[in-house]
Amino acid sequence: MPVLEINNIHKSYGKIKALNGVSFSVPEGSVFGILGPNGSGKTTLLSIILDVLQADAGSYLWFGEPPSNEQRKRIGSLLETPNLYHYLSAVQNLRVTKSISGRGSIEAIEAVLEKVKLYERRNSRFSTYSLGMKQRLAIAAALLGSPTVLVLDEPTNGLDPVGIAEIRELIKTLAKDGHTIIMASHLLDEVEKVCDHVAILKKGELIASGTVEQVLSDEDCFLISASDSDALYELMSDYPGLIRKKQTPEGLELYFSKAEIAPANINEFCFQKGIVLDQLTIKKKRLEEKFFELTGGLHQ
């Protein structure tokens, strides 16, 4: 059973359609990325499923049931800058969070600090933390109460490369520990590196969803090269089933429908025509490349 099912969600702000009939489901145990440029409706969607905003139409289910206070206790979230106090330590901040939310226990505070690798700095003031450490403490606050699901809005936004790497590894660790993670991001590279499922939004429209592999795998791309690149380019123009080809600095990219052509077929074809390949590799399209194709190049 999916942990979250979103059915035909609509939301408008005046004449602006923030979400227009969005539907998808989030499998249990997945790291699910909601990807899109700023203004695509990601934060609006997260706000609706966390009951911060109300949809104009449509519905959603958590754990197969309509949302309720009991269901909400199973969900930890980080939507905006957390309410953490700069003059308090990590432990003191989490005690405040526990008191306000009613989630977790004193013992759980030390456990979540261990999980986000801040235990050694638990008594240091928040003001002395790096941006990455501050974000990890915010995630620790979301982990109080041992939620089944974590919902994170732009968890690496504004971080330096070190901070981004820290959050990336933390998300992977939390997923291995059994948490389902739903994260919104416009950082294509981060979604590709940590997510196994993805939904891509453009101006409030859902334009693709599924496993990362499914979203990427509508075509196979082979990278080939030979000493005479011009002759190779001309030869492959007549190859049966070729959708398109593109010359790149790394070699000639050939695109076919998924699983239609095997590398050995290409190698044999070229050899029979008198061209010996010095490179033949399967190239997986990056999420960024696919994202630009789907959104028409929209990027933030």
3-state secondary structure 178-199: CCEEEEEECCHHHHHHHCCEEE
pLDDT exceeds cutoff 80 at 81: no
Compute and round to an integer the Cα radius of gyration of the chain. Answer: 23
**What are 82's two structure tokens?**
């957390």
Check whether residue 168 and residue 28 sit in a common domain.
Answer: yes
pLDDT for residue 106 = 79
Check whether residue 2 and residue 135 sit in a common domain.
Answer: no
Residue 79 domain-assigned (yes or no): no
Higher-scoring residue by pLDDT: 91, 102: 91
Higher-scoring residue by pLDDT: 285, 137: 137
Residue 139 domain-assigned (yes or no): yes
Residue 232 domain-assigned (yes or no): yes
Check whether residue 120 and residue 158 sit in a common domain.
Answer: no
Check whether residue 28 and residue 174 sit in a common domain.
Answer: yes
- pLDDT band (50, 70, 90) for residue 182: very high
pLDDT for residue 285 = 65
Task: Please choose, from the candidates 194, 207, 180, the residue with its C-alpha nearest in 3D space to the C-alpha of residue 294.
Answer: 207
Strand 31-35 vs strand 197-202: parallel, antiparallel, or unpaired?
parallel
Tell me the CATH number at 199.
3.40.50.300
Check whether residue 211 and residue 252 sit in a common domain.
Answer: no
Check whether residue 251 and residue 276 sit in a common domain.
Answer: yes
Higher-scoring residue by pLDDT: 261, 284: 261
- pLDDT band (50, 70, 90) for residue 286: low
pTM: 0.77
- pLDDT band (50, 70, 90) for residue 299: very low
Instruction: State which of 167, 186, 216 marks the end of a domain.
Output: 216
Residue 181 domain-assigned (yes or no): yes
Q: Are the C-beta atoms of 224 and 275 separated by less than 8 Å?
A: no
pLDDT exceeds cutoff 80 at 11: yes
The tens digit of pLDDT for each residue in 18-71 reads 999 999 999 999 999 999 888 899 999 999 999 999 999 999 999 999 999 888
Check whether residue 221 and residue 289 sit in a common domain.
Answer: yes
Instruction: State which of 147, 175, 197 marks the end of a domain.
Output: 147
Q: Which helix (H) or strand (E) holds 222?
A: strand 219-225
pLDDT for residue 99 = 85
Q: What average pLDDT score do residues 175-185 get?
A: 95
Q: What average pLDDT score do residues 176-186 get?
A: 94
Check whether residue 206 and residue 238 sit in a common domain.
Answer: no
pLDDT for residue 157 = 86
Task: Please choose, from the candidates 155, 121, 128, the residue with its C-alpha nearest in 3D space to the C-alpha of residue 139.
Answer: 155
φ/ψ (deg, to 5) at 237: -60, -30
pLDDT over 70 percentage in the chain = 93
Query: Residue 137 belongs to what domain range?
Result: 84-147
Domain count, the chain: 3
- pLDDT band (50, 70, 90) for residue 300: very low
pLDDT over 90 percentage in the chain = 65
Residue 99 domain-assigned (yes or no): yes
Instruction: State which of 101, 132, 147 marks the end of a domain.
Output: 147
Residue 300 domain-assigned (yes or no): no
Helix (H, G, I), strand (E, B) or coil at 286: coil
Q: What average pLDDT score do residues 268-281 get?
A: 94
pLDDT exceeds cutoff 90 at 171: yes
pLDDT exceeds cutoff 70 at 183: yes
Check whether residue 138 and residue 162 sit in a common domain.
Answer: no
pLDDT exceeds cutoff 80 at 233: yes
pLDDT for residue 193 = 87
Residue 205 domain-assigned (yes or no): yes
Check whether residue 173 and residue 25 sit in a common domain.
Answer: yes
Check whether residue 221 and residue 291 sit in a common domain.
Answer: yes
pLDDT exceeds cutoff 90 at 221: no
Q: What angle do CA 182, 82, 6 make, to 5 degrees?
A: 25
Check whether residue 203 and residue 247 sit in a common domain.
Answer: no
Residue 203 domain-assigned (yes or no): yes
pLDDT for residue 258 = 75
pLDDT for residue 298 = 45
- pLDDT band (50, 70, 90) for residue 224: very high
Between the alpha carbon of residue 204 and those of residues 34, 46, 129, 277, the distances in Å are 12, 13, 36, 45
**Which of 78-82, 88-92, 267-271 is least confident?**
78-82
